[in-house]
Structure 1
């Protein structure tokens, strides 16, 4: 859509209709936050139900294997985000949003009802495919609804659904799962998606897709070295957060000795940290992406060390997960801006690739943390795994900006040499 068409779209709607449409889009983001993170607080319950034999003989191994569900969802995001974003760019946006929300609803219901671990694993992968595309398209729609000069606020409102889910939705649904079973928790998440679908259907106006978009043009981003560096920074560096967050429930109960009823409050602490981190990261990344990335990787490493040394205490685990969530979430907008800076004209897929990168980190962190637990290293081991991933992400960050400096220096050298040669010719 052209800018004039977008302005016309917002101008023809009442302020109340625009607010309702934005809330409907945010509700979809709330559902995504719930479906992505609720498993992390219910690993023991999932392991006992789907892996009863293993849970009876080796509860740690059952929790580690249940963590594969987190990895499966993350891999689904990785596959689906760029694929759907590139292939469906021409679709009318409201129609695509409805299809994606219906997909989420069916996939989440299947996750709740399928009888075996293997089938639930497949369902989590399939349910994750529309994740990145939803955020990308919903952000474009929100930007158009807000109108000129207010687009960033519209995008932030859509993403606020994900943030609020980590503060309110995930702890509440975790508590529900502990009381009524993890399957009931997933049915509650499916109900949120169904409600979001109806809300989008009722409030979001029709918007045409991008008729000029082609898969080839979007995929050109993959030919840029710095795009791959940005993806790797998100995938590896952000994995440090997920190595911890994936196993926060057994860490709270087995290491800190807290009752299972306290786990939702630990998740609230992490969610509050993520909320603050989003706000902080967006502000400092606007000033300097490089300094923001360096500072947040440093804070994430320090937070992981503090958590690893104090996880046996209630204060340590509450404060530790808050700081880890803050630092990691502050990295998210920074990595997003970096991707958009280096992706050239492939801006749509750049937004989707951010979700792919972070969910590769989700998969890597959850998988490596599970390996450490299954090896008998204990529930603090994922914290040190996370520190190693954070260190690797920091090295990649330093490398990508070193390449920028090198290219600028070579460019200046070429200009300087050309100028000197021209001066000789003149003489």
Structure 2
């Protein structure tokens, strides 16, 4: 295993903790800041919006910089955002710091995907990207459950302090292990966005956004779902979040391997169909404790099974604008987070049960399934004409 890819995975590990830990500590944050749980869900959306702003901003101001320098600069922003979030004492300060924390996320994945593809062995591009993404799944396996436990035992501020300190460790490993790679060829600012003139990348962006958004309708409120509907105690959430993280890790590894063997578009299409059925089953079966956990794991596993294939598909469809193309996956992923967290909160605000966000999520995932089906059909027609 190449140390450079491990260093990239350490970075996504930190980003994963910073992004996903909020799902496990949402009630603790809401209680301490004296706001409602749906209001605390805005912190998930703020992070996601920071991702959407940060990626294109990087293309505007730093596209000609060496790739390693970009990774180091993004980690500095990550450290500052999370340490400041840990010190936030009101809703608006926390909202701002979550936005700042999200700024480097999409850009890091964009640059990291390019680096991983360049360093990958021949024929193993998807697996190299999956290895980079694996840091985020491991974050959900160990980091997020640990953050949930520390929040329950001590304070919700501890996980953000940990993220900031971990960012300093990442800086060292990137400096030590990632080789110096030259900047990408400068195609000009317009060149970075030229690929968006075509329909294919937009279909992939919509596939990612809606597929992810549908899962996050439910997953954003997984703690109240499991405690109020499935009947688990708050202290059980550490184990449940660990199970979700394990499913993400397994899903990511399987998705990366199947993508190299069967084609990334096919993996995305069939996995999203499974995700839609899983969400529908959660709506009807969440009151059965063991079933609720199993179904949640199916959905979260599917969420990361499509991650590396989607990343690779957009890289393949953004030649000349690879930096922006790779970042677009994370923009779409986190825009889906924002949409999902908001849309999932609507039935809760209307007084419905915590299983209803899953029902909203079914319809959103189906939109993503339509998008990838259209993409696959167009690609098949294009190959048949060659």
Change (3 A) 1:27 1:333: closer
Query: Do the aligned partners of 1:45 and 1:182 also contact (CA within 8 Å) in 2?
Result: yes
The whole-number CA distance in structure 2 between the counterparts of 1:143 and 1:226 is: 21
Aligned residue in 1 for 2:188: 214
| Deviates further, 184-193 or 279-288 | 279-288
CA-to-aligned-CA distance 1:67-122 (integer Å, 9 cap, x gap): 01001111111121233145423212222222111100001111111221012111
Counterpart among 30, 49, 69 of residue 43 in structure 2? 69
Report the CA distance shift for 1:291/1:382 in structure 2 as closer, same or farther (over 3 A): same
Instruction: Note the 1:344-359 alignment, pairs <5 A.
Output: 344-359=319-334
Q: Alignment partner of 1:262: what SS?
A: helix
Are positions 1:305 and 2:280 aligned together? yes
1:114 to 84, 88, 106: 88
Deviations 1:162-215 (A, max 9, x none): 111111111111111111111122111111112211332344343332253432
Q: Is 2:172 the partner of 1:198?
A: yes
Report the counterpart of residue 415 of structure 1 in structure 2: none
1:166 maps to 140
Post-superposition offset of 1:267: 1.1
Contact 1:85/1:136 (<8 A) preserved:
no
Aligned 8 A contact 1:85 1:352 in 2: no
Take 1:205 and 1:388, find their aligned partners in 2: how far apart are those partners? 44
Matched, 1:179 2:181: no
Say yes or no: does 1:374 pair with 2:349: yes
| Maintained 8 Å contact 1:94/1:207 | yes
**Structure 2 length as normaliser, TM-score?**
0.92
Residue 395 of structure 1 and its aligned partner are, at CA, apart by: 2.2
Q: Could you say what secondary structure the match of 2:306 adopts?
A: helix
Q: Does 1:45 align with 2:28?
A: yes
Q: Which position in structure 2 is the counterpart of 1:315?
A: 290
1:282-322 deviation line (CA, Å, top 9, x unaligned): 23333134432331122112211222222112201210111
Measure, in 2, the Cα distance between the counterparts of 1:34 and 1:408.
41
Shift in alpha-carbon separation, 1:179–1:200, aligned structure 2, 3 A: same
Partners of 2:162 and 2:106 lie apart in 1 by 21
Q: 2:335 aligns with which of 360, 382, 394?
A: 360
Which of 368, 372, 375 is the matching residue for 1:393?
368
Q: Is the 8 A contact 1:67 1:367 kept in 2?
A: yes
CA contact (8 A) 1:90 1:213 kept: no
2:77 — aligned with what? 103
1:27 matched to 2:10? The reply is yes
Larger RCO of the pair (alpha carbons < 8 Å, separation 6+): 2
Pair 187,48 (structure 1): closer, same or farther in 2 beyond 3 Å: same
- Paired residues, number: 385
Alpha carbons of structure 1 residues 283 and 134: separation in structure 2 relative to 1, 3 Å:
same
| Aligned-partner Cα distance in 1 for 2:360–2:375 | 23
Structure 1: distance between partners of 2:170 and 2:102: 16
Alignment of 1:269-280 (within 5 A): 269-280=243-254
Going from structure 1 to structure 2, the CA distance change for 1:153 and 1:280 (only over 3 Å counts) comes to: closer
Partner-residue secondary structure (3-state), 1:130? helix
| DSSP-derived class of the 1:129 partner | helix
Any stretches of 5+ residues in structure 1 without a counterpart? 1-14, 55-61, 413-427
Please provide the CA RMSD for this pair. 2.3
